[in-house]
């Protein structure tokens, strides 16, 4: 129908999932299947932990592609090193690049992020960069060769949705690579709004994994992402200050 291409690969699902916060392997598998996702991001640190093998088995069984991330890295140096290790561990040159500038908010550090992105692109990585909603930084990441720019709607895990839709729209105008809304999604309407703003896809984790019913929320997000995408393509009505009667006969001579 309406495929989404990033890094030369094409996906029919526009919903990417993270695994952080998932309450059980059963919930993980149910959520992944309900979401229809084809791309799941995993932290190297998590997978190296004792139960990592079991999680990998679940994801393998679901047939999803893995997107290693550099969650928890604070400097370009640390992120580059983690990306290299992940490349070995997961046998993929794709990486979701995270360079965090603050423990409290987990917001990205613009300077370290751009530095890491340039290095990783030079080393042949397919870099999907988690970034602020700053359109200029987004364009610099795209210019540096990132395969996708992934702006946050609000801080990771906050569930505050898209705090600045204006910036997301400006960023969308500023780059030609895919834009994936990443972080801050709390509920289905947030995901739909991301797509309506022109994002190509949505990545979320805790909105699903920490919901009361993760599997059901995964389904909700799938529907919302698809609905938001269709609405964007369908061309919404303009906003009007005053009402316009929907039962008007004006311009409708044939009915």
Residues assigned a catalytic role: 96
Buried b (16+ CB within 10 A) or exposed e, 121-150: beeebbbbbbbbbbbebbbbbbebebbbbb
CB of 251 to a second copy, least distance (A): 8
Tokens at 2, concatenated: 């309406």
Residue 196: name the closest of 245, 239, 167, 229 by CA.
229
Query: Of 9 and 187, which CB lies nearer to a second copy in the complex structure?
Result: 187
CB of 161 to a second copy, least distance (A): 8
**Of the two residues 124 and 247, which places its CB atom closer to a second copy in the complex?**
247
**Residue the block writes with tokens 């994936």:** 180
Q: Which residue has the tokens 């908010």?
A: 105
Find all residues with CB under 8 Å of 219, minimum gap 6, and list them: 34, 35
Instruction: Measure the CA–CA gap between 169 and 156, rounded to whole angstroms.
Output: 20
Nearer to a second copy, 9 or 155 (CB): 155
State the nearest-atom distance from the C-beta of 149 to a second copy, in Å: 14
Q: Whole-number minimum distance, CB 16 to a second copy, in Å?
A: 13
Distance of CA 1 to the CA centre of its chain: 20
Q: Which is nearer to a second copy, 60 or 124 (CB)?
A: 60
DSSP 198: T
């Amino acid at each position: 129908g309406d495929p989404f291409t990033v890094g030369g690969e094409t996906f029919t699902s526009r919903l990417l999932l993270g695994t952080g916060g998932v309450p059980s392997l059963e919930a993980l598998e149910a959520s992944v299947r309900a979401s229809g996702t084809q791309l799941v991001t995993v932290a190297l640190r998590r997978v190296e932990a004792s139960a990592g093998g079991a999680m990998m088995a679940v994801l393998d069984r679901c047939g999803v592609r893995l997107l290693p991330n550099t969650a928890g890295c604070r400097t370009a140096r640390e992120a580059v090193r983690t990306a290299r290790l992940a490349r070995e561990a997961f046998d993929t040159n794709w990486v979701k690049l995270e360079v965090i500038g603050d423990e409290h908010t987990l917001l990205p550090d613009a300077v370290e992020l751009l530095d890491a992105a340039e290095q990783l692109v030079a080393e042949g990585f397919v870099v999907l960069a988690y970034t602020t909603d700053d359109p200029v930084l987004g364009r610099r990441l795209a210019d540096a060769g990132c395969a996708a720019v992934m702006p946050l709607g609000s801080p990771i895990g906050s569930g505050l949705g898209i705090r600045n839709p204006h910036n997301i729209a400006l960023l969308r105008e500023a780059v030609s690579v895919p834009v994936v809304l990443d972080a801050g999604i709390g509920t289905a309407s947030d995901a739909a709004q991301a797509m309506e703003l022109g994002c190509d896809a949505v990545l979320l984790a805790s909105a699903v994994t920490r919901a009361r019913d993760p599997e059901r929320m995964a389904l909700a997000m799938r529907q919302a992402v698809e609905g938001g995408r269709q609405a964007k393509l369908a061309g919404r009505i303009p906003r009007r200050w005053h009402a316009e009667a929907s039962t008007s006969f004006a311009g409708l001579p044939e009915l």
